[in-house]
Amino acid sequence: MKQLSGIVIFLSFSILSASVSAEKIQHLQQRTSFAYEQMMQAKLEAELLTKDIAIAEKKLASLKQKLSAAEQEMEAIKRKSAQANARVEQATNKWRQESDTLANEWRQTERK
């Protein structure tokens, strides 16, 4: 009878142990599944952000080109403005000279 009790106790512990082990494995499977889902979500997010970086880099390159073109245009306009201002100064000087010459002529004719 003791032998039968020992076998029953052994089987009970074996079943209980198997049950605890199965619960532990099931819990580990759930944690592993959750970790996998998190990994896949992080991977998807990283891929999307990598694509966003590529788009942002293209926009930046385009804006740099536009900025460069605008800077070149501005420099060309500055040169033209400087040339126009030089022409204004030349024309003003010419006008003053001509006005002085005219004033001198008027004075000379008034003296005569």
Q: Is the pTM of this model over 0.85?
A: no
Q: What pLDDT shows up at residue 84?
A: 98
Section 90-109 average pLDDT = 95
- Give yes or no for residue 101 having a pLDDT over 60: yes
How confident is the prediction for the chain on average, in pLDDT? 88
- Give yes or no for residue 13 having a pLDDT over 90: no
- Give yes or no for residue 12 having a pLDDT over 90: no
Q: What pLDDT shows up at residue 11?
A: 53
- Give yes or no for residue 10 having a pLDDT over 60: no
Best CA proximity match to 91, nearest among 80, 103, 99, 79 = 99
What whole-number distance in Å separates Cα of residue 26 and Cα of residue 32?
A: 10
- Give yes or no for residue 38 having a pLDDT over 80: yes
Higher pLDDT, 42 or 20: 42
- Give yes or no for residue 14 having a pLDDT over 80: no
Tokens of 104: 């001198």
100 Ramachandran zone, left/alpha/beta (phi>0; psi -120 to 50): alpha
Higher pLDDT, 109 or 92: 92
